[in-house]
Amino acid sequence: MTLAQHLGAAGLSLPHYGRKDLGAVLPAALAAVGAGHVVNWRNAESDRQRLGLPRVRHVVVVLLDGLGHLQLDARRGHAPFLRSIESGVVTAGYPTTTAASLAMFGTGQPSGRTGMTGYTAMNPGTGKVANLISWENAEAPEEWQRQPSLLEQAAADGFTITTLGKRRFAGSGLTQAVLRGGQFVGAESLAERIDVALGAARQSGVSYCYWGEIDAAGHRYGWESQEWVAALEDADRELRRLASQLPRGTAMVVTADHGMIDVTGAPRWDAGEHPGLLEGVRLTAGEPRALHLHLDESVNAEEVVERWRNVLGKHAAVVTKADADAGGLFGEILPEVSGRIGDVVVAMAGRATVVDSRSQSERSMALIGVHGSLTPEELQVPLLAAVGG
């Protein structure tokens, strides 16, 4: 069976790499303001046309962490403004997790090129697991992630680039790795960020605003919770204000990095307590919905695949790195990135998870809302657009 067939049998599907994917959003925005020529990896003007963005002098791009297309659709009554500006759907890349998706957004390139291969990833230089959110055990950001930042390229070409996020994110490993360039403005509340974005929109260029409260509520309470709905309502209200006050000749684009599923009551395996899963596995990385298995040197990857398939059955698509590469799961895998991808790759199906109590905290294993795999709920994210004036 091919990779696509393995995924299809598990109810999973490949990202739309190079077409309507998350990597098209920032190139399209740059093309809209006349900066598309700074994008070398893909055709930014084609992305602009494909996503339907008009030519304007400024674009405010808002990324709502954790807001999947299907979750928004299910709670559309709580987001009347966002519902009114729906423009379409794009896919995240694999894995559907923040580090990989922000890298895809910031560079236009999939994780096989950026090396942002999960919440955690094996650092081949140290043999330890690196956390790509906290940046613990990872190398210097520019060394770990070598693909050019589109924001940095646009700023170097003279365009006004503004990034809005929490003050503590200024200069963080993740920011430096994938979203470096231009001016970073720290603002704690979404309302503050909207105010800054409105000021920046008076000049030609692009503003990028990140908001993480929807994702945080989903992880802790589940996306079907009242807390998640409240976070969505807050975002809907502030983004309505942003759209209503945008100057003429500007536009707003809203998207997300991944969706989410709730896993309470769903099948779960603990690799740390299951000898059949650990046999021959030197190290696990990734996350409970998207695992990388790094094997002992003498172990045959096909044997590990067979063993994991026997244990997980219909609850996962389990393939070798070679099959993942041949099928384009991570996009093109560059040689310097290959060691961060497991010898065996596990994409979970349905709402199932595999945790590892040897390395994960009780808190992380108790999360209600999770993501990382390739169900429609995780893969599909909204594309929403409004024009000022």
The whole-number pLDDT of residue 97 equals 98
Among the listed residues 166, 151, 104, the one whose alpha carbon sits nearest the alpha carbon of residue 132: 104
Residues 162 and 208: beta-carbon distance below 8 Å: yes
- Residue appearing with tokens 């807390």: 227
The whole-number pLDDT of residue 270 equals 94
Other CB atoms closer than 10 Å to residue 51's CB: what's the count? 22
User: How many Å from the N-terminal Cα to the C-terminal Cα in the chain?
Assistant: 53
Contacts of 193 (CB under 8 A, 6+ apart): 164, 165, 187, 209, 211
Helices (H) and strands (E) in the chain, counts: 19, 17
The whole-number pLDDT of residue 166 equals 92
Assign 3-state DSSP to the chain and report helix, strand, coil percentages, each to 5. 40, 25, 35
The whole-number pLDDT of residue 332 equals 97
pTM of the model: 0.97
Between strands 205-211 and 316-320, the pairing is: unpaired
- The amino acid that residue 209 corresponds to is C
- Structure tokens that stand for 124 in this block: 């081949």
Contacts of 230 (CB under 8 A, 6+ apart): 217
Dist CA 31 CA 181 (whole Å): 17
Per residue of the chain (389 residues), give pLDDT as tens: 899 999 999 999 999 999 999 999 999 999 999 999 999 999 999 999 999 999 999 999 999 999 999 999 999 999 999 999 988 999 999 999 999 999 999 999 999 999 999 999 999 999 999 999 999 999 999 999 999 999 999 999 999 999 999 998 888 999 999 999 999 999 999 999 999 999 999 999 999 999 999 999 999 999 999 999 999 999 999 999 999 999 999 999 999 999 999 999 999 999 988 888 999 999 999 999 999 999 999 999 999 999 999 999 999 999 999 999 999 999 999 999 999 999 999 999 999 999 988 878 888 888 999 999 999 999 999 999 999 97
Helix (H, G, I), strand (E, B) or coil at 87: strand
Residues 33 and 159: beta-carbon distance below 8 Å: yes
Residues 50 and 143: beta-carbon distance below 8 Å: no
Write the secondary structure of 352-384 as one string of H (helix), E (strand) and C (coil): CEEECCCCCCHHHHCCCEECCCCCHHHHEEEEE
The whole-number pLDDT of residue 364 equals 84
